[in-house]
Amino acid sequence: MLELNFKGELSSGNKVQTVFSYDFQLTLTHTGITAFYGASGEGKSTLLRLISGLEKNNNGKISFKGTSWQDEHVFVPPEKRKIAYIFQDGRLFEALTVEANVLYGLGAKLNKIHKLNEHTSHWVENVCESLGVSAWLQRYPSELSGGQKQRVAIARSLISQPDLLLLDEPFSSLDQRGKAELLPYIERLTTKLNIPCILVSHSRYEIESLAQVGVIIKQGKVIAQDSILNLLTRLDLSLAHEEQSTSLLQVKVLEHNDADCLTVLSLGSQKVWIEKVTAEIGQLASIRVFSRDIIVSAIQPVESSALNVLLGDITEIEHTQSSKVLIIVNIEQQKLLARITRKSLNNLDLKIGQQVYIQFKSVSLGTCLFRE
Amino acid sequence: MYLSPSDLLAISVTFKLALLTSGLLLLISTPLAWFLSRWKSPFKPIVESLVALPLVLPPTVLGFYLLIMLAPDTLLGQFWYELTGQQLAFSFSGLVLASIIYSLPFVLQPLQLAFERVDQKSLECAQILGASPWRRFTSIVIPSTRNSFVLAAILGFAHTVGEFGVVLMIGGNIPGETQVLSLVLFDHVESMDYEGAHRLAACLVAFSMVMLILVYSLNRKTLRLSRFSFQSNVSEGIK
């Protein structure tokens, strides 16, 4: 449980002094990944630095699990907060080997694995193994790629056994391949640790893939705080209005159809077909559907090539002046965001409360994300 | 080509003085340079000017004020007399004190420059990983500024060896106590002993050369990684 309340100003920039004022009030109770989402320069990283104590603000309050980190009388320095902070650029100590880097958090004397006691060295080896960094222990950071450096940085943070994990745009310095490589490690790690994690990101793909709860930050203020599923389908927020807008549906793996190379997922009592994936039967997952890929029909479509036809009720319609409208369809108590043209809306005469059929091609599904 | 016993005595006094001065200066300058490299205040230029003053001030001016400051009737002079039973002016201790002030900018500035360049991000990272301020200094700052420490020590040492005006004013030219190389050389010239002056001057040239070779070879051998920054440090330090 993290509670904070910061109000203040921050001047940044050397030549042109820009004063950035912020007002953050937040309570986080979630133990999984909470995402701070917003465009660059809206104050997400500032908030993270305030939480870590790297940025000092004299009129703020922050407490973690009932212990005050900062109030009128107390300021716990960052080194005593037991947090891990994954920076954009890895920030490995270039002069030290990977081994000395990952052991840095254990203290000055323990800079070699063989100096550790059995319990600790077991833990260290376990972490290094699961992040795939064991083979590089004797190398120097300059010999590693960007993604490899980030994995070492993550191993280093974990070995110190933090109570809170802060991830500041961990993928931003990586190319597409590096991102794809790192994503599963971060996912695995946060489930393994079972500590609260905060992920700062301006990429909706990252927050959709990793976070369960999102906090939307704009101009130094918290605009909304909700589950990712809800945030994506809230019409009052900009997420739903983005070109790449999506919604996530929670499903369960029902069966694999080898003959057609498809996997069948259950969405309540309805079914969704996707291209075959490797997953255990009964596993929970979420699927990503782009709002622009959805076809809405007022009557049940017949002889359509689209495999997925779901039945739902329209719960919200947002009328705009543009050619497109956004509608929310409630399918089995889950919200699906669809974007259709205004012309179609008028032609079909769609109304709130009306029952509609939703179609999307199975191949148009976004990445299938599996969650524990 | 032999050096006279008085020459040798002066050499040993000079080296003792330079060694002690540069050693003490490293101890004083490290925290001071660290403080100055982090300090943000409108008064910073004033303090910086004050410590850089010995760079531009004629050594005789500095020597004159030191002479007045170290006199037995001043607070400092009295304090020293009560502490050690010796007077500070015209003594080796007084000379060390004067050299520390005189050579301070040569040790302080390379260190301050190096500290200012220490990667703030690495320090933050170490802090998050639980490192105390002292450990951050020893594990991050010192390894990345090692070359500047060597440079600062050598510059401080060499500059102390070369001082003349200040020791002339406050040293009193006492053999074995305050008579340093440069003064003996001056005495040789004064007494038209050009042969003796040549011998000593040649020794000083050779010594300076050895020091510089040491700097540059050390630079190449152990500091290869940061050679570029080291060389720019040398030029900035000398400026």
Structure confidence by residue, pLDDT tens digits, A327-344: 999 999 999 999 999 999
One domain for residues A198 and A329: no
What CATH number did the domain enclosing A291 receive?
2.40.50.100
One domain for residues A330 and A234: no
One domain for residues A237 and A312: no
- Residue of chain B whose Cα is closest to the Cα of A160: B129
A148 touches chain B (CB under 8 A): no
Cβ contacts of B125 on chain A, cutoff 8 Å? 85, 87, 91, 93
One domain for residues A217 and A82: yes
Q: In Å, how far is B134's CA from the nearest CA of chain A? A: 11
Q: Hey, are the CB atoms on B124 and A156 less than 8 Å from each other? A: no
Please indicate, yes or no, if residue A276 is contained in any of the structural domains. Answer: no
What CATH number did the domain enclosing A97 receive?
3.40.50.300
pLDDT above 70: percentage of residues in chain B:
90
- Residue of chain B whose Cα is closest to the Cα of A165: B128
- Model pLDDT, residue B88: 80
- Range(s) of the domain holding residue A328: 246-252+283-370
Please indicate, yes or no, if residue A10 is contained in any of the structural domains. Answer: yes
User: How do the domains of chain B map onto residue ranges?
Assistant: 5-238
- Residue of chain B whose Cα is closest to the Cα of A92: B122
Cβ contacts of A77 on chain B, cutoff 8 Å? 127
Domain boundary among A191, A217, A241: A241
One domain for residues A289 and A237: no
pTM of this structure: 0.77
Please indicate, yes or no, if residue A264 is contained in any of the structural domains. Answer: no
Radius of gyration of chain B measured on its C-alpha atoms? 20
Domain B5-238 bears CATH identifier 3.10.620.30: no
One domain for residues A89 and A230: yes
Mean pLDDT value across residues B61-69: 89
- Cα separation, A124 vs A147, whole angstroms: 20
Domains identified in chain A, total number: 2
One domain for residues A226 and A299: no
Please indicate, yes or no, if residue A121 is contained in any of the structural domains. Answer: yes
Closest CA to A149 of B81, B142, B72, B125: B125
Terminal C-alpha separation, chain B: 36
Token pair 């000593």 is found at B200
| pLDDT tens, residue by residue, B134-188 | 999 998 899 888 888 988 898 899 889 888 888 888 887 788 888 888 888 888 9
Please indicate, yes or no, if residue A50 is contained in any of the structural domains. Answer: yes
User: ipTM value of the model?
Assistant: 0.78
Please indicate, yes or no, if residue A203 is contained in any of the structural domains. Answer: yes
- Cα diameter, chain A: 75
Residue in A78, A91, A107 closest to B121 by CB: A91
- Cα separation, A222 vs A224, whole angstroms: 6
